[in-house]
Structure 1
């Protein structure tokens, strides 16, 4: 649990609390399985209990935090089988959309991919893993939203947040610079409306991520 020399000012709203806790989970400051105590969170965040509980409830709905009434609140532990399955399904969705819908990408969607790629670049250069994980998630959500299939879009959006902790490049997966180079190549392929090339790159990125993830947690 992060500590401070003195309580921070009570300046965080519910969404700010959510973003801060999520960021700490994504960058590994709060580790899988770590117990989250309200009092410690209140001291760390400089916030009252209510916005913290609201943020934790939201994170629990997204399967990032585990709430067990009258027992504990903790960062969701690593469920290797579930995460491996989620990585496979999410990767398949990303690849399918790239192959099937790249020709239909609008100029605005291509521009949005460029903006998200810039966010990834900034996070890499700033060594900000939390921002990097979020930027990678938003990048692929732009790709998925190009699909007219609402079921695929919804599935990818609901799964991606709980997986982003393990898609965020770390020593056990890919280095940030390697991930950035992959996304640059994917963006270039999508700009050319080359769905096959983009699909191949996405497939390789996800396959390697899954392989390294399983190797790390074996």
Structure 2
């Protein structure tokens, strides 16, 4: 009988898309193995843990002589521009931005014919883009009937913030060895800009610098699974905060918590730093009205 981690590892090898890996694995664990008593957050933790172990193993192999050290070709860095985005990618990104900024409100009906005319494309890439958004639970598709922007549910909002809190704690733990004086200086600069935005009750700029502040730990973690999970959940948070965020309620709380976090990092106090990150994300729920 496989252990739960072994089952998840086995399913991961079957080309599960990263964007919704936890959801897909949860469905397969239920359907194929009748395993029901496991949360999406727990599955996410296990996926990230498995990936990290595999990555460490690969690195050890490279430095222990099992892999050829000269196997990488000495090709020059490419100066070629990035290839243009496909129609699906362009439509997906635009619809995502419209959903996040409120251009497409919750429960707004989506007409693939109108969208295809707007982008001057066939309905195929539109439907593919909409399927990606449906996989992220940002839209709801009812085949043969209609597609709508997903409503914002109070219970889901609380769960999203709690999951993000734990994932950002993981990001801090993974990135902690890489946090030096230069990183701390960058955090201080971003927090000063955040403080100015809060003083002006500028919600868009508040979100920008708050995202960049926490993004430092995510990028330093160098864990693509973790980054994908966070990006997907933060799309939901961005939508919630653009619609309901009360800048006056939260304008002094977050920068102060960031200052406390920076102080803990200077002292190399990881336990306190993790506690502050967790509280920072969960308390953000109080800023939404």
TM-score range, shorter chain: 0.5 to 0.7
Q: How does 1:98-109 map to 2 (within 5 A)?
A: 98=172, 100-101=173-174, 103-105=176-178
Alignment of 1:210 with 2:271, yes or no, is: no
Deviates further, 132-141 or 87-96 = 132-141
Contact 2:102–2:243 (Cα < 8 Å) also in 1: no
Distance 1:197 1:157 in 2: 25
| 1:32 alignment partner, SS class | coil
Structure 2 counterpart of 1:70: 144
Distance 1:196 1:134 in 2: 27
Length-normalised TM-score, structure 2:
0.50
Structure 1 counterpart of 2:100: 26
When residues 20 and 134 of structure 1 are mapped into structure 2, their CA distance, relative to the original with a 3 A threshold, is farther
Bigger relative contact order (CA 8 A; separation at least 6): 1
Residues matched between the structures, number? 194
Distance 1:183 1:50 in 2: 46
Structure 1 counterpart of 2:62: none
Distance 1:22 1:190 in 2: 36
| 1:73 alignment partner, SS class | strand
User: Which ranges in structure 2 are unaligned for 5 or more consecutive residues?
Assistant: 1-84
Length-normalised TM-score, structure 1:
0.63
Deviates further, 25-34 or 145-154 = 145-154
1:80 pairs, out of 154, 160, 171, with 154
Distance 2:209 2:115 in 1: 25
User: Which ranges in structure 1 are unaligned for 5 or more consecutive residues?
Assistant: 1-10
When the two chains are superposed, the root-mean-square deviation of aligned CA atoms in Å is 4.2
Structure 1 counterpart of 2:165: 91
Distance 1:23 1:142 in 2: 22
Structure 2 counterpart of 1:58: 132
| 2:110 alignment partner, SS class | coil
When residues 59 and 138 of structure 1 are mapped into structure 2, their CA distance, relative to the original with a 3 A threshold, is farther
Distance 1:14 1:179 in 2: 40
Alignment of 1:15 with 2:92, yes or no, is: no
Structure 1 counterpart of 2:82: none
Structure 1 counterpart of 2:15: none
State the shift of 1:91 in Å.
1.0
| 2:109 alignment partner, SS class | coil
Distance 1:19 1:173 in 2: 26
Contact 1:36–1:74 (Cα < 8 Å) also in 2: yes
Structure 1 counterpart of 2:217: 143
Alignment of 1:46 with 2:119, yes or no, is: yes
